[in-house]
Chains A and B, each alone.
Chain A
Amino acid sequence: MTVTELPPFVRADGPDKVSGSGRYTADLTLTGMLHAAFRYPDVAHGRITRIDTSAAEAMPGVLAVMTDADVPDVHYTWAVADRTLFARDIVRFEGEVIAAVAAISPEIAKAAAAAIEVDIEPLPVVNDIEEALAEGAPLVHEDWASHTADDGIIRDGNLAIYSALQRGDADAAMASAATVVSSRYVADASHAAPIEPRAIVAQWEGEKVTIWTSTQVPYDARDGVCETLQLPASQVRIIVPHLGGGFGGKCGFHFEAHIAALARKAKRPVKLVFSRWEEFVAPDRRREGMIVELTTGLDADGRIVARKGWVGIDNGAYMADCAFFPQLAAMHVAGPYNIDHLSIDAKLAYTNHQPSGSVRAPTAPQGCWALESHTDELAAAAGLSPVEFRRRNLVDTGTTGPMGQTFDEIGALRVLEAAHAAAEGSGPLAENEALGLAVGWWPSFAVPAGAYAKMHGDGSVQLITGAQECGTGAVMTLRYLAAEELGIDVEKIQLVYQDTGAAPFGPGATGSQTLLNHGRAVETATRDIAEQLRELAAEQLEAAPGDIVLADGVASVAGTPTASIAIDELAGIAAGGNLLISSGTADVPEYPTLEGSHCVGDQGMAAWLAPQFSCHVAKVRVDRDTGVTRVLDVFAAHDNGTILNPIGAHGQVEGGILMGVGQALTEGTQYGDDGTQLNAGLLEYKLQTIADAPNIHTTFIEIPTANAGPKGSKGLAEAPNVATAAAIANGIAQVVGAHVTQLPMTAERVWDTANGTADQNGASA
C-alpha cells in the first residue's frame, strides 16, 4: 500500500552544494580574523608535570594562548561530568586538547602550538574493553567517584555505566532447551568520517558571542558553551552554515567553547579548521568498539526459549553521550525476537581511547551484526533456513518484545518476506556467491521541538525551525508539510534554520527526528496561520470560518467555489492589521508501557516509540583465495511508517547501506599498543567509494503509524545503517563455511576464517 501524500521532490540545497556557491563554515572570513591550533599530547595516557607557554606567546603573530588555567573551573558533559575543556593534570586520550593558540595565520598557530613546552609522565594505557574491566586494571579516572552523575547511573571505576535487561528466568529456561548455541563477536571502533572536517568561527560583540560551527545540534552546542564558559543562553548565538555531512559525528558540543574563549582572550574573531587527522582523533563521537557474547537456547521446533548475553562497550576516555549505550546495545543483541526468558548484562568501559558517541544508529550495526550472525548459527543448529527461523521467532503486530512492549501494527514479518522475496527472485547465484539475510530495528525518538511561522504581506511564508540540515535533506520536507496546511505553493515557503538566535528550540539533526519532531511543530505552527487565514477569509466572504477551504492559493467557501479570495490578498489585508505570525510546539507522544521485564540502570531506552524494522539481504561474492568480498546487490525492505518523500527516503536507505558496506568490510580503527590510532587518515581508514557501491533495491512497507511523526511517519535516517553489515556477514559465512567473528570483516579476516586460521590474526581469544 502506498499512502504517500506529498509530491516527490528534489531537495532545494542541491544546486548550491553541487555548483560550489554554498558556503561552509571554513569558507567564512571576518575582519581581523585569527586562526586557531590545538596542542595535543603525544601519548594516550599521562600525567602533565609542566606546561610552559612562554615561547609560544613570544612568537610574532601569536595573539592568545590558552590552557585549563584560562577558563572557568567546570566539569561538563552528559550524564557523568568527567571532563574539562582543557586537560587538567592528566591526559586520557591522544586527541585531548591541552592548549590552544590563536595567531594571524594557520601556519604560525600550528608552529606556536608545537612550541608550547609540555612534559608528560606516561601512565599505563587502558587499551581494551576487557582489560579495562578486569580486576586491578589501571583507572582511567582515578577520581571517578567525585564526578557528579545523573540519577540512576550505575558505575564503578572503569565501569562507566552498567545496564542489564532481565525478563523471566533465563537460567531455568536455558536448562530446558533442546539446543544451546554460544557465540562471541568483536567489533572494532569506527568513524563517522564526514567529508567536511569540522570548522568553527567565533566573534564577540560586547558580552555576546556569535559562533558559526559545523554542528548537527546547534542547541547542544549552545548549551555546552553556556555551561563551560558560564554564560547565559541569551549571550550565545550558534549559526550553522552549510554542513558537509555529519553521520552523528557532529552531534552535540565539541570545540565551540575553546574557540569562543580564544576569541575573547585575543579580542579578535578566531577560526578553527580541523585537519583530517584531527577529525579522526579529537572529536568525542566515534562508533564504539564492542564485544558481544550470546548464548541462546531453542526448543525442538527452533523457537527461542532463552537468551543470555554480555556486551562490553568501549566508551573511550570521557563520557560524551554514551549513557544510554549499554541499554541500547543490550536491546539490540536481545533483538526483535519473541524471548520470554532473557538476561543481558551490558557494560560501558572507560579506556584511553577517543571518546565514543552517537554515530548513526549507535550500538546497532555492531549489535545487529553480532546478533544476526548468531541467529544464522541458531538457524543452522535448528536445521532451519535463515528466513524460516526468523519467521518462527520475529516479533510482529500484537506480540510482546524482549522488553515487555506489546507492539501495535508493525511490519517486522512483512519486511522479512519482502526482502527475502526480492532477493530470491533476482536470479541464480554464481560460484562463491551467496545471499545473506539480516533483520534490524531502531526506535523513533520523540522530544520537544518548536517552530515559528510567518506569512508576509505578499503571501510568502517563512518557517523558522530549530531543525538542522546535516546532509539528509529531511528539513526540506518541512516546507511541504506547511504548504499543505496553508494551501499554497511550496515555492512560496522558505526555511530559516541553523540559528539559535532566531529559531525556537529543537533537537537538531540527531536521532532520526527532523521530520518526527520538527515536522509536528511545523504542522502545529502553520495550522495556526491557516486558522487565522480562514477567519480573515470568513470576514471577507461573509461565511463561517469552519467552511473556508484553503487550497491552490485560494480561500474559498466549501460548496460555493465562486465565493473565494486569493490567499495572497488575505496576506496583504493582514499586513495592515493583525499580522500572520504563529508558533507551534510538538506534543511529545506517549511512550508504550512495559510489562514483565526489568531494566537495571534504565536510561529511558526500554520502550520504543514507533519502532522501525528493516530486513536487508546482501548478495556477496567472495574471492576464496584472498578473502576479498564484494557486495553485488542489497535487497532492502523497510517499515519506516508513511514515506513522505520517496526520493529522500530512497537516498537515505542507499546512503545507509553504503555506509554499512564500509563498516562490514573495510572500516575499522586500528590501535597501537600505546593506545593511539594507527590509521587516522583516509588512506588507511578505508571508506567505500562510489565504485564499490552495490545495486540497491529498496521496498518500503508503509504502515501509517499512530502516535509518531506527521502523517504516520517514523524516523528513517539511522535505520538503513543497522542490518547491512549483518546481512553481508551471513552471506560471507555461507560461502566460506564459518562466521567471521571480527568486524570489519577484512579480506585477511575472511581468508583466515575460510582457512581455519583466524586465531593467527590477532583475534581476541
Chain B
Amino acid sequence: MSMQIATSLDEVLAALAAGARPIAGGTDLVVGHRQGKAPLPESLVAIDRVPELAEIADGDPLRIGATVTHARLMTDQVVVDRLTAIADAAALVGSPSTRNVGTLGGNVMNGSPAMDTGAPLVVLGAEAELASADGIRTVGLDDLWTGPGRTSATAGELCTALVIPARPASSGSAYVRLEYRRAMEIAVVGAAASVTLDGDAVASVRVALTAVAPTIIEIDGLEGLTGRAIDDDLLAAVAEAASEQASPISDLRASDRYRRHTIGVMARRAVDAAARRAAGESISVPVNRALGIGAAA
C-alpha cells in the first residue's frame, strides 16, 4: 500500500481523484482494520497536515474544519460558547488519546449511528461541505447519512468543513448520552438539543437522537412546543416523542426496550440542559459530568 502526506487541499483532491482514500486521525480506519472489519485501502492520503482543514472560523455561518480534533472542539472558546452541544459530545469521545487524533470530519463521514458529534450537528442545523476535483457543494446531514456506515458522498469527495448558521440570541445546546463507564465508551443512546428562548417561552427547540435508528435522526413535531414554558410537561412531551420515534435494536449493549426508555430520558435531559444554557446558566462541558447524567458526577 502507499500513503501520501498532503499539505494542501489541491493535493488531497488530486489524490482522491486518483483513487486514494483520506486518513486523518485513523481512529476508525486503523482500528477497523485491526479488528478485521475492513482492510486498509491500498492507497491513502493523509489530510492532517492541510492547514485550511484545521480552522475554526467564527462568523455567519460558523465553519469548523474537518480535521479539527475532538480535543480542540471540547476546549475551543467559540465551540464551547456557541456550539456547546458539539463540545459536550467531543469531550465524551473515546479516551484522551482518541480525542487528540480523532477529528470532526472523520466522525461525521464514518456515518455511524452511534457517532457522538452527529446529533449536535443536526440540532445546530449544520451542513457538510464536500470538495472534489470538480468543485465544492454543501449537503444537509439528513441527505449525507444514508445508513449505518454509509454516506452520499462520492469517492472523490472530501468533507472539508461543517458549516453552521450563526446562533440566535438566547440560544443554548447540549448533548447527553447514556454510558456505562466514563471513558472508552460508545453511546448506548444519546440525545442533543438546541433551544432558543423568547423570554421564558420556547422560540424553537430541536432534538436529535444517537444510536436508536440506522442513522442519527431528528425528532419530528416539536414545533407544537413553541410558545410554551420549559416545564415538566414539556420535558415529558419531549421524552415521549423521542421514545416513540426511536426504532432501537437489541444488542450486547442494551435491549430495545431499555433503549426506547432511556432515549426519552436523554432527550428530556438534553432539552433541560440546553434551555438552562439558553437562559444564561453556565453548565460546564460535558453536561454528562456537570449534571451527573447517568449518575456520573
Chain A contacts to B: CB under 8 angstroms: 432, 621-623, 625-626, 628-630, 665-666, 670, 678-679, 681-684, 686-692, 746-748, 751-752, 760-761
Q: How far, in angstroms, from A432 to B297 measured CA to CA in the complex?
A: 13
Report the nearest A residue to B179, measured CB to CB. Answer: A628
When A748-B254, A748-B255, A761-B255 are in contact, do A626 and B183 touch as well, CB less than 8 Å?
no
Q: A683 with B186: in contact, given A621-B295, A630-B295 (CB under 8 Å)?
A: yes
* CA distance in complex: A679, B186 (Å): 14
Whole-angstrom distance from the CB of B179 to the nearest CB of chain A? 8
Q: List 14 A-B contacts (CB under 8 A).
A: A621-B297, A625-B262, A625-B265, A626-B294, A628-B178, A628-B295, A670-B252, A684-B252, A686-B181, A692-B181, A748-B254, A748-B258, A751-B261, A752-B258
* Chain B: minimal CB distance from A684 (Å): 5
Nearest-neighbour CB distance to chain B for A492, whole angstroms, equals: 41
Sample of 18 more A-B contacts, CB < 8 Å, known A628-B296, A687-B181:
A432-B295, A621-B292, A623-B295, A625-B265, A626-B178, A626-B295, A630-B295, A666-B180, A666-B181, A679-B252, A682-B184, A683-B186, A686-B180, A688-B181, A689-B181, A691-B181, A692-B181, A748-B254
Question: Does B33 belong to the interface (CB within 8 Å)?
Answer: no
Q: Report how far A746 CA is from B253 CA in the complex, Å.
A: 10
Q: Are A630 and B258 in contact (CB under 8 A)?
A: no
Q: Does B257 contact A (CB under 8 A)?
A: yes
Rank and list the top 4 A-B pairs by shortest CB-CB distance, nearest first.
A628-B294, A623-B295, A691-B182, A630-B295
The CB with the most chain A CB atoms within 10 A, among B185, B258, B261, is that of: B258
In angstroms, how far is the closest chain A Cβ from the Cβ of B77?
Answer: 25
A747–B255 alpha-carbon span in the complex (Å): 11
A665 touches B180 (CB 8 A): yes
Check if B293 is an interface residue, CB within 8 A of chain A: yes
Within 8 A of A (CB), among B245-260: 252-255, 257-258
Q: Known contacts being A678-B252, A748-B255, is A623 close to B294, with CB within 8 Å?
A: yes
Binary A-proximity of B267-284 (CB < 8 A = 1, otherwise 0): 000000000000000000
The answer to whether A623 touches B181 (Cβ under 8 A) is: no
Collect the chain B residues with CB atoms within 8 Å of residue A628's CB.
Answer: 178-180, 294-296
Is there an interface contact between B183 and A684, defined as CB atoms closer than 8 Å? no
Residue pair A691, B183 in contact (C-beta under 8 Å)? yes
Chain A residue at smallest Cβ distance from B181: A692
Interface residue SS majority, chain B: loop
Residues of A within 8 A of B182 (CB): 689, 691-692
In the bound assembly, the distance between CA atoms of A625 and B235 in angstroms comes to 14
In contact, A751 and B258 (Cβ under 8 angstroms): yes
Give the chain B neighbours of A622 by CB distance below 8 A.
295
Chain B residues near A684: list those with CB within 8 A. 252-253
Task: Tell me whether B265 and A626 are in contact (CB under 8 A).
Answer: yes
Residues of B near A690 (CB, < 8 A) are 183
Residues of B within 8 A of A432 (CB): 295
Looking at the complex, which one of A626, A679, A691 makes contact with B262 (CB distance below 8 Å)? A626
- Name the A residues within 8 Å of B293 (CB-CB): 623
CB neighbours (8 Å) of B255 from chain A are 748, 761
Question: Which residues of B lie under 8 Å from residue A746 when comparing CB positions?
Answer: 180
Among B179, B294, B297, find the residue whose CB has the most chain A CB atoms closer than 10 A: B294
- Residues in B neighbouring A683, C-beta threshold 8 A: 184, 186
Closest to A661 in B: B181
A748 to B180, CA, bound (A): 10
CA A724 – CA B252 in complex, angstroms? 25
| Chain A positions within 8 Å of B254 at CB level | 748
Return chain B residues, CB-CB under 8 Å to A687: 181
Closest B residue to A433 by CB, please name it: B295
What residues of B have a CB within 8 angstroms of the CB of A691 in the complex? 181-183
B181 contacts across to A, CB distance below 8 A? 666, 686-689, 691-692
Quick one: closest A residue to B182, CB to CB? A691
Q: Bound complex: CA of A551 vs CA of B294, how far in Å?
A: 58
Closest to B262 in A: A626
Per-position 1/0 for B86-122, Cβ under 8 A of A = 0000000001000000000000000000000000000
- Tell me, in angstroms, the Cα distance from A683 to B28 when the chains sit together: 13
In the bound assembly, the distance between CA atoms of A592 and B186 in angstroms comes to: 51
Q: How close is A677's CB to chain B, nearest CB, in angstroms?
A: 10
A748-B35 Cα distance, complex, nearest whole Å? 27
| A665 to B294 Cα, complex, angstroms | 13
Interchain CB contact (< 8 A) of B184 among A630, A678, A689: A689
List B residues 167-223 near A (Cβ within 8 Å).
Answer: 178-186
Residues of A contacting B292 in the complex (Cβ-Cβ under 8 angstroms): 621, 623
Q: How far is the CA of A691 from the CA of B297 in the complex (A)?
A: 11
CA of A629 to CA of B261, assembled, Å: 17
Nearest-neighbor residue (CB-CB) of B96 within chain A? A691
Complex interface: chain A residues within 8 A of B183 (CB): 689-692
